[in-house]
Amino acid sequence: MIIKCVAIDDEPLALGILEDYIKQTPILELVEKFTKPVQAFNYLTEHEVDLIFVDIQMPDLSGIEMVSKLKNKPLLIFTTAYSQYALEGFKADAIDYLLKPIDYSDFLKAINKAKEWFIVKTGESINIQVNKDFLFIKSEHKIIRINFTDINYIQGMSEYVQIHLTNSKPIMSLLSLKSLEGQLPEKMFMRVHKSFIVNLQKIKIIEHNEIIYDNGTAIPVSQQYKAKFQEYISKNFMM
């Protein structure tokens, strides 16, 4: 899934921050950026995009006025320094509203909403393709094959997952841990914490309700998942 987007803001600094956030986010592709709303409007009347980030207060043409003139409206995320414009933004059918200065965590929450709307709108599926022995993950505009046997553990990080591998650097993807959990073979992987899924075959040491890896990383086993994990240990325990 790639969501093609346009960023519009008359302030170059604010536009630069948006551009940087978009480039950091694997499912987004910035196709154009504008500081002049009239130029943006002319572009959008001739080109189809999936999502626009647009400042509400701009000279000559406000973001809301510009959007109202579009015949085919993409998904909308409004940005502004003034919270009083939030209601106007939602009346214009925006899926979210970002208040400047924009924090990246708030930006990601807005993108998750955009992703959900995009899936409904296009019918496109989530960023995972699974085989018996491996899966494909979309990360940073690339499709990466990951063998199950190479996974040590998977960590949920807000709107992302980070897949920690045996012999290479972690891979990040804009997915929820829950959605990925349902795609993994149950005999090989187990959720042991709200933020962690472990590869059971990679467990070397268990100490004080923590799974210890060779590099010293300690994964906590939370109370919610403790009983299931202890059952697994008991079945494979030798006195």
9 has pLDDT over 90: yes
Domain boundaries, the chain: 3-122, 129-235
Mean pLDDT of the chain: 84
5 has pLDDT over 90: yes
User: Contact at 8 Å (CB) between 202 and 213?
Assistant: yes
Give the C-alpha separation, 54 to 71, whole Å: 16
Give the C-alpha separation, 153 to 150, whole Å: 9
Report the CATH fold assignment for 129-235. Answer: OB fold (Dihydrolipoamide Acetyltransferase, E2P) (2.40.50)
Residue 18: its H or E element: helix 12-24
209: left (phi over 0), alpha (psi -120 to 50) or beta: left
180: left (phi over 0), alpha (psi -120 to 50) or beta: alpha
Beta-carbon contacts of residue 236 (< 8 Å; ≥ 6 apart): none
4 has pLDDT over 70: yes
Give the model's confidence band at 219: pLDDT under 50 very low, under 70 low, under 90 confident, else very high: very high
Give the C-alpha separation, 187 to 200, whole Å: 8
Residue 116: its H or E element: helix 104-122
DSSP of 164-175, one letter per residue?
Answer: EESSS--EEES-
- Express each pLDDT in 116-172 by its tens digit: 777 766 655 455 555 678 888 877 667 788 999 999 999 988 668 899 998 888 998
- Express each pLDDT in 16-48 by its tens digit: 999 999 988 878 899 999 999 999 999 999 998
Q: Do domains 3-122 and 129-235 have the same CATH topology?
A: no
Number of residues written out for the chain: 239
Q: What is the pLDDT of residue 58?
A: 82
Q: 37 — phi, psi (to 5°)? A: -65, -30
Does the pTM exceed 0.85? no
Q: What superfamily would CATH give domain 3-122? A: Response regulator (3.40.50.2300)
